[in-house]
Structure 1
Amino acid sequence: MAKPKLWTKEFLSISFASFFIFLIFYMLTVTLPIYITDELHGSGKNIGIIIPIFVVSAIIFRPFSGIWLDTIGQKKTLFIGVVIFLMGAFLYFPAKSMALMLIVRVIHGIGFGMATTATGAIAAHIIPKERRGEGMGYYATFMNLAMVIGPFLGLTIIGASGYETLFVFSAIFSVLAVVCTLMLKLPQPNRHKAVEDSMKKTIRLSDFFEGKTLPIALVAFALSFVYSGVLSFISVYARELNLVTAASFFFVIYAAFLLISRPFTGRWFDAYGENFVIYPCIILFGLGVWVLSQVSSSFMLLLAGALIGMGFGTLVSCFQTIAVHSSPASRKGIATATFFVVFDSGFAAGSFVLGIIATYTGYSAIFTIGSIIVLFSLGLYYLLHGRKAKGIMNNIESSI
């Protein structure tokens, strides 16, 4: 029997929309601290407020976005999100003070939270059930590519042309995200029923969060807590070790090995169950973080990038697939929002906590601690999801 088609116009449109949104996110995450210091004459304290406020704004609006996805519709929610995101991109031009920059980051973060919640839910919705693991893996690859291209492109632009050009490119990519959104054709929800249902009941916490998604989201929290240390401190750690040149290729190697493994891991997820992929990937991620703590050469730094790419890069798409699949069909938008609220919170908490620890212990120590947390996450995954998950034997038995 032929497999259902994966690479449809809708799948490509939502994947490229996600790519452009995350491309801007990574471009600005790397370059704005330099802009705040050089152009706005800000301090480290200013950077510590203006950069995280973007993620905090996104976290706050994700639960509302989940409700809107299941009521007013997926495309409309995404369109509103990308338009707000586009507005935020244009507002960087006149933001010449700390106060204005803070307001811009809040607006931009709201658009990011709405748009990325919507893209994840739409991708899970349009991918054929039989190819969900494979499809979500490819969808996540677009985000991974943005993570590699964004920092490189951002630093290249400000080095060659300056910050105004950076903001021009940010606006252009935002427009492209809007164009990709307009190309989507998605079914509309039953609005009358949605309004009727909302009038019949009082607002409850369950309207904003999907409880069935929380177990796998908590595992993702622990792992994103560790990965935030890799993303935030790899450049300064490499500078300490005189490996700055190698560090510039860290995420290139990360993406290369993720792309090499993606076709296999996605198919294995669908064929043999999540445990067959997730347990080895957690081990690879932990091993990569431990190698990072022991780095003494360029080869070891790049080896860590390869292991982390195959491990953490694969886990993100697997966890998102599980989060959506574990929820009722009518609550997939809320499930996506719940997953990313917890996942993003791990990043925010990790950057803050590990940054404090690094002040007293050094960067090598936080990666050692991180590898221990990843090892602990093996047991956490087993307790919260793995022991109940469908494994290879279940698939073999069901096929007999």
Structure 2
Amino acid sequence: MAQTGLTRAEIENLDSMWKAPGFVPTLVAVFAAFGAWSLLLPVIPLAALDAGHSATIAGATTGIFMAATVATQIFTPAMLRRIGYNPVMVAAAFMLGVPALGHLLDDAVWALLLFSALRGVGFGALTVAESALIAELVPARFLGKASGMLGVFVGVAQMVFLPLGLWTAGQFGYGSVYIAAAVVALIAAVMCLRIPRIRAQETSREKADVSMWKLVLVPAVAVNSLSMSFGAVSSFLPAAVQELDPVTGAVIGGFMLSITGGAAMALRYFSGIVADRAGRAGVTMIPGQLMGFGGVALMALVIANGWSVWWLVLAGVLFGGGFGMVQNEALLEMFQRLPRTKVSEASAVWNMAYDAGTGIGSFVLGFVAARAAYSGAYTVAAAIVAVGILATLTDRYLGAHRVTEHNNIRTRLRQIPVPRRPRRRR
């Protein structure tokens, strides 16, 4: 059964995020959900290739999954208001897991694409709901740390289940992975039942002082620029390591994404601690962007000049750490800039920027890599991150004049026409 939710005042009086009702079940549910996703992420394309399909079809399984994910994220805030977090997350976890069993029926193209799309619907709704729910469950002064902890659970799930899916497929066949993914996702659904039955708050019908998109655009660009670069890092970094040094690269190539992911987890949580202590978001945003830029720029230099493969390890740590900080800061800035009634919209924009960036980055930078090698792809990736840095710096410069509060009294007073006193004639 779902736990009873506390009032906002009672939540703010909690002395620890761990005491917030539903916080721990949410983390466990997120771990299981991302575990189910990670089990199948590398396995479905591999199964498509082994079934005799082309590389295009294999790639399309991931592409249609992400397309369904982003499309669902657009409508999730409305569902959270109308239905509530608990039912949406239970249904989303169910949709993420049960369609995995559909892959047991057939390995034809229609089955690969249909069941991938259905899983994408579940994943899209779940990712938006869990990020927004954290802002609803924990005291505001612990939101940075809570968001960072969410990133830790996501990261650990990926580090554990990505290689586990491939290993299980090799040892016991693809069918065993499909069943395992369904079971793990159903565990997430059960844990979602322990989440308080609350709904996203209704938005005010009064006109806001500033358009929502003007407030969230820059954080969205920041996370999108790095997620596009992550598309190249996740696609090409292990292969680049092995190409640069066949001997050493064969040993560490498989661990490169884990190294990058581990750095992202650690510094995302660190970023949350800094935000909570500072009492505001954004303190580590620019340092994170600079680290991410340094990471992909170093990748380009190392590959172009044939330097030691260990420089790529450093580059992976820099990029992963920077990406982790930007992930947390972008989400916290969106929460901070928008009224509490729009936390679900903030989560939706953040997730769409992240997921769309990863998909577009894989496609665009893969196109560049095919024509300008890996060094060219990472050079373009560095330029994309630089655009994000420029946007953030410009936003900071103009930020002193931005009104972020909903129904800002000072701004409204300035809008009231004040009649001028008539001059006295002498």
Distance 1:389 1:68 in 2: 35
Query: Within 5 A, what are the aligned runs for 1:114-125?
Result: 114-125=125-136
Distance 1:240 1:95 in 2: 36
Which of the pair has more CA radius of gyration?
2
Q: Cα distance, 1:389 vs. partner?
A: 7.8
Q: Does 1:148 align with 2:159?
A: yes
Match of 1:289 among 296, 299, 302: 296
Q: Cα distance, 1:258 vs. partner?
A: 3.9
Distance 1:303 1:389 in 2: 36
Q: Per the alignment, in what secondary structure is the counterpart of residue 18 of structure 2?
A: coil
Query: Within 5 A, what are the aligned runs for 1:325-344?
Result: 325-344=336-355
CA gap 1:30/1:285 in 2 versus in 1, 3 angstroms: same
Q: Does 1:257 align with 2:263?
A: yes
Distance 2:30 2:133 in 1: 11
Q: Cα distance, 1:11 vs. partner?
A: 1.4
Distance 1:386 1:224 in 2: 24
CA gap 1:275/1:335 in 2 versus in 1, 3 angstroms: closer
Q: Does 1:34 align with 2:46?
A: yes
- Which amino acid is the alignment partner of residue 119 of structure 1? E
Quote the residue 1:105 is aligned against. Answer: 116
| Higher deviation after alignment, 129-138 or 342-351 | 342-351
Q: Cα distance, 1:268 vs. partner?
A: 1.2
CA gap 1:188/1:33 in 2 versus in 1, 3 angstroms: closer
| Higher deviation after alignment, 178-187 or 350-359 | 178-187
- Which amino acid is the alignment partner of residue 20 of structure 1? A
Q: Cα distance, 1:373 vs. partner?
A: 2.2
Normalised by the length of structure 2, the TM-score is 0.81
CA gap 1:239/1:305 in 2 versus in 1, 3 angstroms: same
CA gap 1:24/1:369 in 2 versus in 1, 3 angstroms: same
Quote the residue 2:26 is aligned against. Answer: 14
- Which amino acid is the alignment partner of residue 382 of structure 1? L
Question: Does the aligned pair in 2 maintain the 1:26–1:147 contact within 8 Å?
Answer: yes
Q: Cα distance, 1:60 vs. partner?
A: 0.7
Quote the residue 2:107 is aligned against. Answer: 96
- Which amino acid is the alignment partner of residue 334 of structure 2? A
- Which amino acid is the alignment partner of residue 254 of structure 1? T
Quote the residue 2:283 is aligned against. Answer: 276
CA deviation profile, 1:49-97 (whole Å, cap 9, x unmatched): 2221000001111111111112221112212211222222222221321
Match of 1:380 among 373, 391, 407: 391
Distance 1:116 1:145 in 2: 16
Normalised by the length of structure 1, the TM-score is 0.86
Question: Does the aligned pair in 1 maintain the 2:271–2:328 contact within 8 Å?
Answer: no
| Higher deviation after alignment, 93-102 or 1-10 | 1-10
Quote the residue 1:235 is aligned against. Answer: 238
CA gap 1:275/1:210 in 2 versus in 1, 3 angstroms: closer
CA gap 1:307/1:92 in 2 versus in 1, 3 angstroms: same
Distance 2:120 2:266 in 1: 32
CA gap 1:288/1:122 in 2 versus in 1, 3 angstroms: same
Distance 2:130 2:400 in 1: 26
- Which amino acid is the alignment partner of residue 113 of structure 1? G
CA deviation profile, 1:112-157 (whole Å, cap 9, x unmatched): 1111111111112112101111111111111122222232111211
Question: Does the aligned pair in 2 maintain the 1:210–1:338 contact within 8 Å?
Answer: no
Query: Within 5 A, what are the aligned runs for 1:161-176?
Result: 161-176=172-187
Q: Does 1:266 align with 2:278?
A: no
Q: Cα distance, 1:385 vs. partner?
A: 5.3
Question: Does the aligned pair in 1 maintain the 2:13–2:139 contact within 8 Å?
Answer: no
Distance 1:388 1:269 in 2: 18
Identity %: 23
CA gap 1:10/1:2 in 2 versus in 1, 3 angstroms: closer
Match of 2:90 among 68, 72, 79: 79
Match of 1:244 among 243, 250, 261: 250
- Which amino acid is the alignment partner of residue 277 of structure 1? T
RMSD: 2.6
Structure with the bigger RCO (C-alpha within 8 Å, sep 6+) is 1
Q: Per the alignment, in what secondary structure is the counterpart of residue 15 of structure 2?
A: coil
CA gap 1:46/1:271 in 2 versus in 1, 3 angstroms: same
Distance 2:82 2:343 in 1: 11
5+ residue gaps, structure 1:
202-208, 391-400
Distance 1:77 1:218 in 2: 28
Match of 1:358 among 357, 360, 369: 369
Distance 2:194 2:328 in 1: 24
Distance 2:14 2:196 in 1: 22
- Which amino acid is the alignment partner of residue 289 of structure 1? V
CA deviation profile, 1:191-228 (whole Å, cap 9, x unmatched): xxx6xx99x99xxxxxxx86632331122222211111
Q: Per the alignment, in what secondary structure is the counterpart of residue 276 of structure 1?
A: coil
Q: Cα distance, 1:377 vs. partner?
A: 1.8
Distance 1:22 1:333 in 2: 19
Question: Does the aligned pair in 2 maintain the 1:210–1:327 contact within 8 Å?
Answer: no
Distance 1:349 1:261 in 2: 25
Give aligned pairs, total: 376
CA gap 1:88/1:217 in 2 versus in 1, 3 angstroms: same
Q: Per the alignment, in what secondary structure is the counterpart of residue 248 of structure 1?
A: helix
Distance 2:264 2:56 in 1: 35
Quote the residue 1:204 is aligned against. Answer: none
Distance 2:400 2:185 in 1: 39
5+ residue gaps, structure 2:
1-11, 207-211, 402-426
- Which amino acid is the alignment partner of residue 36 of structure 1? A
- Which amino acid is the alignment partner of residue 31 of structure 2? F
- Which amino acid is the alignment partner of residue 395 of structure 2? L
| Higher deviation after alignment, 246-255 or 64-73 | 246-255
